[in-house]
Chains A and B, each alone.
Chain A
């Protein structure tokens, strides 16, 4: 596979380490009432879609960027690649 790095251009996927669903970006609020349930779902449950998935890849043998790659799990077609740090987040993370 080839991942089109937003800063470095097309790179072979073997330069990257895979983490998983990009929902891992949305870490729950530790102070919320049902934090235990939220963290359990956040860390352990997966949509595991057969189709489009947004997922996290780390450019381990490159520039150490975490990327959010939008890819089809049936065809492996990649339609979008973004820097994780550019993804809009809910306000809680900037506190």
Chain B
């Protein structure tokens, strides 16, 4: 049934409850044209765009747990396309454009809310590097506004301008940046894919790859072997673990990124605010919770939970920049496994094994990339060549020396 206010009203008035399942629970078939491994945002978007944009059929998405159980439901919901490097910015801007039409595309309200994303700067040197970034954004067709201190005061009068350790000198605002209801992205893509015939198979962990004569022809799963012409891995924090089963070592480490939400509060925070000097970013959800986060814990882990030093440091940064939030309470903290790459940028590429494709290395920035990641991965799978805006996301780039290192931190994943 189409989702609309009218249909909600009709259901309510007639007292009927006829909403269909958002997605079905099919049994896996023995063969598919394409298997996408990973029922998170990226995997589901890939399946969706494979169908809608590239007319592919006979597709399955295999998810080891329940749909959307990974980072798509654990992030701080921020979307933005404020990247610096030419290998990145056009890709994220495509993503932003896809976000902007997501509700109409999917007939599902994922609450894309373009509230604006502000990155604060605290020195002339930081301003200069934000000018470089802002220009890179504008050149790529995105939007950016440079604000001086007065501009920031107007936008966010509640920041600490008087007593802060790092004085606020201004900020780079992307008005089109904002937040999205994260779970709804997975559900919306699932509903869209499901309605177009994609088999979404939950609780179906891939335990191995079937490789014959150098070609990947299928997967071993908890629910039996499934063959396919193309196998598309899209498993974020589990990338290393899974690709290891195909004998492929990756330029990726798995880390934990913690995120935090406060108790519900009446609206106080209009934008997304990023405080680089303290590794802190915050927004307020439609429900009223302050959603915030900071740095990754910094050590390799698959444990999906973090430790206290980061928790305390993130809260300190929050109170330092916004002293008024101190008397609210932290309600929940959680950790997501992030696939930190060696230059902080992702991969959407073929592998050396024919028929096996890889999408990963999204670091802590995968959520905002969801639509474009699916779009470009679908392009690669359908045409066997990279989408122009994702052409630099190659696995061999370190061998060639073509890093996409936004921060200039070098080959150390926990610094990106």
Across the interface, A48 reaches (CB within 8 A) one of B253, B309, B412, namely B253
Residues of A contacting B132 with CB < 8 Å?
Answer: none
Interface centre among B240, B244, B300 (most CB of A within 10 A): B300
B252 touches A55 (CB 8 A): no
A45 touches B251 (CB 8 A): yes
Within the complex, the shortest CB–CB distance from A20 to chain B, in Å, comes to 7
A48 touches B241 (CB 8 A): yes
B interface SS class:
mixed
Mark B2-41 against chain A: 1 for CB-CB distance below 8 A, else 0.
0000000000000000000000000000000000000000
Across the interface, B303 reaches (CB within 8 A) one of A21, A44, A76, namely A76
Mark A7-21 against chain B: 1 for CB-CB distance below 8 A, else 0.
000001110011111
Residues of A contacting B301 with CB < 8 Å?
Answer: 73, 76
Chain A: CB-nearest residue to B343: A44
The answer, yes or no, to whether B407 is at the interface (CB within 8 Å) is no
Chain B: CB-nearest residue to A43: B411
Residues of B contacting A75 with CB < 8 Å?
Answer: 303
Chain A: CB-nearest residue to B398: A44
A74 touches B303 (CB 8 A): yes
The answer, yes or no, to whether A1 is at the interface (CB within 8 Å) is yes
A46 touches B240 (CB 8 A): yes
B253 touches A46 (CB 8 A): yes
Q: Which interface class (under 10, 10 to 19, 20 to 34, 35 or more) fits B?
A: 20 to 34
A20 touches B253 (CB 8 A): yes
The answer, yes or no, to whether B250 is at the interface (CB within 8 Å) is yes
The answer, yes or no, to whether B307 is at the interface (CB within 8 Å) is yes
Q: Given the complex of chains A and B, what is the CA–CA distance between A30 and B249 in angstroms?
A: 22
Q: Given the complex of chains A and B, what is the CA–CA distance between A18 and B244 in angstroms?
A: 23
Residues of B contacting A19 with CB < 8 Å?
Answer: 412
Chain A: CB-nearest residue to B414: A18
Mark B225-264 against chain A: 1 for CB-CB distance below 8 A, else 0.
0000000000000011100100001111110000000000
Q: A48-B241, A73-B303 are in contact. Are A13 and B309 (CB under 8 A)?
A: yes
A side interface size, CB within 8 A: 28
The answer, yes or no, to whether A47 is at the interface (CB within 8 Å) is yes
A interface SS class:
mixed
Residues of B contacting A12 with CB < 8 Å?
Answer: 309
A55 touches B300 (CB 8 A): yes
Across the interface, A20 reaches (CB within 8 A) one of B241, B309, B414, namely B414
Interface centre among A18, A43, A74, A75 (most CB of B within 10 A): A18
The answer, yes or no, to whether A50 is at the interface (CB within 8 Å) is yes
The answer, yes or no, to whether B158 is at the interface (CB within 8 Å) is no
Residues of B contacting A57 with CB < 8 Å?
Answer: 299
The answer, yes or no, to whether A53 is at the interface (CB within 8 Å) is yes
A46 touches B252 (CB 8 A): yes
A53 touches B300 (CB 8 A): yes
The answer, yes or no, to whether B298 is at the interface (CB within 8 Å) is yes
- Which B339-359 residues sit within 8 Å CB-CB of chain A? 342
Residues of A contacting B342 with CB < 8 Å?
Answer: 43-44
Chain A: CB-nearest residue to B312: A14
Residues of A contacting B300 with CB < 8 Å?
Answer: 20-21, 48, 53, 55, 73
B241 touches A14 (CB 8 A): no
Chain B: CB-nearest residue to A46: B253
Residues of A contacting B298 with CB < 8 Å?
Answer: 17-18
Across the interface, A47 reaches (CB within 8 A) one of B240, B303, B399, B414, namely B240
Residues of A contacting B303 with CB < 8 Å?
Answer: 73-76
Q: A1-B307, A53-B300, A73-B303 are in contact. Are A48 and B411 (CB under 8 A)?
A: no
Q: Given the complex of chains A and B, what is the CA–CA distance between A87 and B413 in angstroms?
A: 24
Interface centre among A19, A44, A53 (most CB of B within 10 A): A44
Residues of A contacting B307 with CB < 8 Å?
Answer: 1, 13
Chain A: CB-nearest residue to B296: A18
Q: Given the complex of chains A and B, what is the CA–CA distance between A10 and B252 in angstroms?
A: 30
Residues of A contacting B161 with CB < 8 Å?
Answer: none
B250 touches A45 (CB 8 A): yes
Residues of B contacting A14 with CB < 8 Å?
Answer: 309
Interface centre among B239, B251, B302 (most CB of A within 10 A): B302
Residues of A contacting B252 with CB < 8 Å?
Answer: 46, 48
Chain B residues near A (Cβ < 8 Å): 239-241, 244, 249-254, 298-303, 307, 309, 342, 398-399, 411-414
Chain A residues near B (Cβ < 8 Å): 1, 12-14, 17-21, 37, 40-41, 43-50, 53, 55, 57, 71, 73-76
Ordered nearest first, which 10 A-B pairs have the shortest CB separation?
A: A48-B240, A14-B309, A45-B249, A44-B398, A44-B251, A50-B302, A18-B299, A18-B298, A50-B241, A73-B302
What would be 5 A-B contacts, judged by CB atoms less than 8 Å apart? A1-B307, A21-B300, A43-B411, A44-B411, A45-B251
